[in-house]
Structure 1
Amino acid sequence: MLGREWEVGVLVGPHTAPEFLTEAGLLALLRTTWGVDANSARTGVRLLGPKPRWARPDGGDAGLHPSNIHDTGYAIGSVDLTGDMPIVLGPDGPSLGGFVCPAVVAASERWKLGQVRPGDSVRLVPWSLAQAEAADAKRQAWLGRVTDRIEPVARPSWNAALVRNDTAAGGVLARDHGDGTAPEVTFRQAGDRFLLVEFGAMALDLQLRLRVQALDRWVHRHLGPGLVDATTGVRSLLIQVDGRRLTTTMALAAVREACADLGDLAEESFPSRIVHLPLSWDDPATREAIDRYVNGVRADAPWCPWNIEFIRRINGLETTDDVRRIVFDASYLVLGLGDVYLGAPLATPLDPRHRLVTTKYNPARTWTAENSVGIGGSYLCIYGMEGPGGYQFVGRTVQVWNRDGLGPHFDQPWLLRPFDQLRWYDVSAEELLDLRAQQGAGQLPIRIEESSFHLSDHERFLAANQPSIDGFRATQQAAFAVERQAWADAGEFDDLELAP
């Protein structure tokens, strides 16, 4: 029996041509008839088809593959390019992640994500914001009526002119240039219910993260009941609105004014607890996940058969003991939550000499053990639940999510907060199993110290250690270049169409 064919309305953006995909690459994404993979669920629908056509050779500090970006909030329905595989993120998908998303499913079309099944085919049809809002208004009106008659909703058809217009805009709604005291701000379309605000250049800069935090405080105080949620990223804030009370166009106008008034944050400080957690280095659960990947997804990946050796190689370190030393010496600043589900932290070392840079799996794993710890780009995460993933493993820790609120540290279901500092202490795999049992019962004592993060203090630290930091980065960048060339020689980038 042949599968069903689906047309799904999407809005182009936030990450599209010409910054991330070529113009031809965006058109190919929207004109391809995609197959639905068997590894699909409420977390996301995997699509089978041609490789994306990228407009850049790599993701820089965010990772070796051009799909890698500094982590940003994900809108529900995002077409997430995890390496070379598109995954349409569902309602149980991650709220934060580090992959390019060139389109987002319109709110009125999301129901289709729950109906497609393996063997079906999907075509992504570009809609304008006006079309998406009209379709959603009609859907809301239909849902509000108590009637036995089902009234079909008219669907926009393929519009090549619309694609050309949206491609030219690159998913950018507005861009305010910096003035020397404040960075450039880019406002990107992320569907008809989300607005993505990005500060500065595509780089890891804690000054930008402080501006994100300041804007997050502002939107929670001023956007009122029209605000559904806001997700902080490395240099961005994803704002979700209730379209019946506040449209993305209205939110854009308000937030644009707020960004202009944020002012100088150099002397700002934020509460920053120091949280000590156990880490089972190279835990057997991570080895099992790698084995499953090799046997079921991809056997020839450059990061297999051992992720820690890959981390050593791509960072120019002498031994895997150096990887271990750096991870345990680092103090990881939490920049966001929900990076791979359930309050999972996205964190980066405060000391740039501890920032191990990797790339993410391509394609992603289909299985990761709960609370595995990995590094992707310049960032560390703890997987909040069992599921897919792409970060390079270093070990496993205890639960960071407790839905029952058991124990003194779970007044909310999540353990960690933005601007917490995460530090590891070494335990064996056997010890970790006992600690996990205690944590699940709310009986594990966790050492937490109250502190604060001052940007001015951090910048003085960077200035005092700049020569050593520059030396570490030079070694790292040289190893990164060698690894990239090895990938090219092995055909890893074959079929990528890069802009000249």
Structure 2
Amino acid sequence: TQVTFAANARVDTWVETGTEVTPYYDPMLAKVIVSGADRPAALAALRAALDETSISGIETNLAYLRAIAASDLLASGKVATTALKDFAFRPESIEVLSPGAQSSLQELPGRLHLWHVGVPPSGPMDARSFARANALVGNKETAVALEMTVNGPTLRFHTDADVAIAGAHMPATLDGVPVPHDAAFAVKAGQMLAVGAISGAGQRAYLAVRGAFAAPEVLGSRATFALGLFGGHATGTLKGGDVLHLNPPASRPALPETVTTEPAPLTRDWDIGVVYGPHGAPDFFQDADIADLFDATYEVHFNSARTGVRLMGPTPRWARTDGGEAGLHPSNLHDNAYAVGAIDFTGDMPIILGPDGPSLGGFVCPAVIARDEQWKMGQLKPGDKVRFRPLPRPQDPVAGPAVKSVPEAASAILAQRDDGPVRVVYRRQGDDNLLVEFGDMTLDIALRLRAHLLAAAVEEAKIPGLIDLTPGIRSLQLHYDGTQVSRGKLLGLLDEIERTLPAAEDVVVPSRIVHLPLSWNDEDAQLAMRKYQELVRPNAPWCPSNIEFIRRINGLENEQAVRDVVFDASYLVLGLGDVYLGAPVATPMDPRHRLVTTKYNPARTWTPENAVGIGGAYMCIYGMEGPGGYQLFGRTIQVWNTWRTTPVFKPGTPWLLRFFDQIRFFPVSHTELMEARAAFPHGAYPLRIEETQFSYADYAAELARNAGEINAFKAHQQAAFDAERAHWKEQGLDSFVADEGIAGGEEEAIPEGCFGVSANVPGNVWKVLVEENAEVAAGETIAIIESMKMEISITAHAAGRVRAVRMVPGRTVRTGDVVAVLEAMS
């Protein structure tokens, strides 16, 4: 994950940052060669070269070589073939014997300044417990520490260390002897620390070591973004056999005598303070929906993770019948930037967006968890109860008379201006974000250009405290540090700047035509559809084929007509990071190519990397694996390249596309796409890119020339759209209530001489791997459960013959439910 060699040494190597070292290669990664006027000078040069060398992501003998180079043994020159037999070496490292369910290195405040291209902050999900663990061992509260979910790892220490575990109570033992929770304790080299499963409330605990874990910085932070495969240790969650390194002893602080912070109070019944907005009543929700949001008790769904916490609760009544061009469901809107902690209604089901959540999306968010309350997200466990408490809106008057403040009763909106070329609405989005919206809720490229112009002007103004500027389709989000600029001051500055912006007709922006290969109806996209139908919503109108659904809702004759439109279209990139890592949200420049669909309700839990789909009137290329809601029609090559610089991935900008690029697809087979995907990150797949520009005046003239055909197309499309909506209402498909499918009633008794194999977590049965009468060995996997965005194996604790299988794929199970009954084998 990081390779650095000394500039003043000769280095013979075959590795660089991003190289995958497989078992089939020679273990020799590099030779470092130096020279000097005499032996002492050469040794000094060698020590310096080794100190300047860094190889992260894979365990090497670098620390061992540094120790040898610094030893009297080498300096004396009396080195025999057996000299190292008695050489004492103690690495500053910790070996992972067992990784736990989901353990990762995190850092505060996480990865900032890349929200506009879909890079989330990551960092600890419970920042309060994370900071306390660090404080207990004297570290800065922001230092790299280990986040542990559900159950912890087993670690072998190769060095003396001071350790603390805070957060949810995970009972831990040191060489079998219990150690205290929420307090520092000493570990000696050679000892084994075993961290168990959570006992009681909470979902995550944090393990800090005095001096902190060492990890390379990737895109400005050491925090792990496991879905994006970067940050932390070796790009993701821990695995057995990993070796974690500690910072040098010289950097270790003294243990504190006292710690002023209090441990986080954990419960199974949560009260969480939220900030109302950005999307409230009456624009998006009815008043009764907002009352439900603050009065109802929600339950945490088992399919929750660092990306977001899914909740089960009342279905909104909604203020709109649909989202128009943004999608068929009233939760759909034209994509805008999200805030971490937002309550995001993906259809009728709310999800609290976590620190690994998406930056851009097309769903409404009626509230955002307050900054000081966001730690609670990290401790929400499946089955927990949650109530949201609206916090009073602080009085922070707008600086000057530029914009009109909105009264408290309509507090989803902070201020608005109606006397300019377009209406401007300023929405509050949590404690430290402002969402600026332009014009009506329609797809209008002139509004996107206005957001672009405002972002450029704000950047030029160099306003103190701005962290991120993230444009949406008709909006601009400003993430700011309230200690450097107040919300009222920022509102006033924004209004002054917005009034100086030129009209869209005067705007010309740089653009490129980017030609991308597309595997139509790719088999990996089909797998995502199939998995959704089996596990999430079997009767969804877009199942089993998204392409057939696209055809039907747009009134096209056949699936070939859908294919023709996709390959004829030129998609204008309006946003990046939907969903994640430079993923474009784009719309066809010609309205006759704008196929309109609804998004999944509820969202998919899994989408393959670089799947391509449509949601509303927008096309998206998924930047990585993860959740999603667009209707899929194929797959293409990578739009993000973390590790390598190539002709199209420039240094410091690992994203392929830019705002206002034009994407055009050409067809390839699945096999051809796989070959292209293997070559493209290495710069070995040539991409055709044409430099051009986008003139709004020319574009508007083209629309006017073809207005008749465009209007006819839209009328036909709207008729099909209305027919589909009427069909949904007739069939009861216009809203979705999750059928959890949990078996009720009494548990069937286990026959004598048999034993049950039970689920150890709540979740959905993804696969059952045994049949009746099959013989099963101890430790063999019986079934796979999908829970917390992970696939968890359910194994037999003893050998036996399968007497009965009690669960089928798609069934929801609770902790302790019997999946299969085995007859004990003597």
Q: How does the TM-score come out when normalised to structure 1?
A: 0.90
Which whole-Å CA distance do the structure 1 matches of 2:645 and 2:710 have between them? Answer: 42
Contact kept? 2:309, 2:352, Cα under 8 Å: yes
Which whole-Å CA distance do the structure 2 matches of 1:54 and 1:469 have between them? Answer: 30
Contact kept? 1:12, 1:103, Cα under 8 Å: yes
Q: Secondary structure at the match of 2:579?
A: coil
Deviation at 1:98, TM superposition (A): 0.4
Question: What stretches of structure 1 move > 4 A for 4+ residues in a row?
Answer: none
1:99 corresponds to: 363
Is residue 587 of structure 2 the alignment partner of residue 348 of structure 1? yes
1:160 corresponds to: none
Q: How does 1:32-181 map to 2 (within 5 A)?
A: 32-130=296-394, 166=408, 168-179=409-420
Contact kept? 1:178, 1:185, Cα under 8 Å: no
1:440 corresponds to: 681
Contact kept? 1:209, 1:236, Cα under 8 Å: yes
Is residue 498 of structure 2 the alignment partner of residue 259 of structure 1? yes
- Amino acid corresponding to residue 32 of structure 1 in structure 2: A
- Amino acid corresponding to residue 198 of structure 1 in structure 2: E
Q: How does 1:309-320 map to 2 (within 5 A)?
A: 309-320=548-559
1:428 corresponds to: 669
- Amino acid corresponding to residue 172 of structure 1 in structure 2: I
Contact kept? 1:22, 1:55, Cα under 8 Å: yes
Give the alignment partner of residue 286 of structure 2, picking from 22, 25, 32. Answer: 22
Q: Describe the shift of the 1:445–1:129 C-alpha distance in structure 2 as closer, same or farther (beyond 3 A).
A: farther
Which whole-Å CA distance do the structure 2 matches of 1:493 and 1:328 have between them? Answer: 31
Any unmatched runs of 5+ in structure 1? 133-164
Contact kept? 1:107, 1:192, Cα under 8 Å: yes
- Amino acid corresponding to residue 285 of structure 1 in structure 2: D
Which whole-Å CA distance do the structure 2 matches of 1:108 and 1:75 have between them? Answer: 14
Deviation at 1:223, TM superposition (A): 4.2
User: Superposition RMSD on alpha carbons, in Å?
Assistant: 1.6
Deviation at 1:128, TM superposition (A): 2.5
Which whole-Å CA distance do the structure 1 matches of 2:578 and 2:372 have between them? Answer: 26
Is residue 241 of structure 2 the alignment partner of residue 241 of structure 1? no
Which whole-Å CA distance do the structure 2 matches of 1:432 and 1:116 have between them? Answer: 40
Identity %: 56
Is residue 720 of structure 2 the alignment partner of residue 479 of structure 1? yes
Contact kept? 1:281, 1:394, Cα under 8 Å: yes
Q: Secondary structure at the match of 1:224?
A: coil
Which whole-Å CA distance do the structure 1 matches of 2:419 and 2:548 have between them? Answer: 41
Which whole-Å CA distance do the structure 1 matches of 2:419 and 2:630 have between them? Answer: 33
Which whole-Å CA distance do the structure 1 matches of 2:729 and 2:462 have between them? Answer: 48
Contact kept? 1:216, 1:230, Cα under 8 Å: yes
Deviation at 1:405, TM superposition (A): 3.1
1:323 corresponds to: 562
Give the alignment partner of residue 228 of structure 1, picking from 467, 474, 478. Answer: 467
2:96 corresponds to: none
- Amino acid corresponding to residue 378 of structure 2 in structure 1: G
Q: Describe the shift of the 1:494–1:90 C-alpha distance in structure 2 as closer, same or farther (beyond 3 A).
A: closer
Contact kept? 1:19, 1:170, Cα under 8 Å: no
Is residue 654 of structure 2 the alignment partner of residue 413 of structure 1? yes
Which whole-Å CA distance do the structure 2 matches of 1:232 and 1:336 have between them? Answer: 7
- Per-residue Cα deviation, 1:374-397 (whole angstroms, up to 9, x for no partner): 100000001111111100001001
Which whole-Å CA distance do the structure 2 matches of 1:127 and 1:405 have between them? Answer: 46
Any unmatched runs of 5+ in structure 2? 1-199, 202-266, 397-406, 738-826
Give the alignment partner of residue 383 of structure 1, picking from 603, 608, 622. Answer: 622
Deviation at 1:170, TM superposition (A): 4.8
Is residue 516 of structure 2 the alignment partner of residue 277 of structure 1? yes
Which whole-Å CA distance do the structure 2 matches of 1:170 and 1:491 have between them? Answer: 34
Which whole-Å CA distance do the structure 2 matches of 1:90 and 1:131 have between them? Answer: 28
Give the alignment partner of residue 491 of structure 1, picking from 721, 724, 732. Answer: 732
Which whole-Å CA distance do the structure 1 matches of 2:520 and 2:435 have between them? Answer: 36
Q: Secondary structure at the match of 1:35?
A: strand
Contact kept? 1:13, 1:188, Cα under 8 Å: yes
Is residue 275 of structure 2 the alignment partner of residue 11 of structure 1? yes
Q: Describe the shift of the 1:170–1:355 C-alpha distance in structure 2 as closer, same or farther (beyond 3 A).
A: farther
How many residues align? The count is 461
2:780 corresponds to: none
2:532 corresponds to: 293
Q: Could you tell which deviates more after superposition, 466-475 or 108-117?
A: 108-117
Which whole-Å CA distance do the structure 2 matches of 1:286 and 1:326 have between them? Answer: 19
Contact kept? 2:470, 2:477, Cα under 8 Å: yes
Q: Secondary structure at the match of 1:287?
A: helix
Deviation at 1:253, TM superposition (A): 1.4
Deviation at 1:259, TM superposition (A): 1.4
Which whole-Å CA distance do the structure 2 matches of 1:178 and 1:431 have between them? Answer: 54
1:157 corresponds to: none
Contact kept? 2:525, 2:632, Cα under 8 Å: yes
Which structure has more relative contact order (CA 8 Å, sep 6+)? It is 1
Deviation at 1:494, TM superposition (A): 5.3
- Per-residue Cα deviation, 1:118-158 (whole angstroms, up to 9, x for no partner): 122221111124399xxxxxxxxxxxxxxxxxxxxxxxxxx
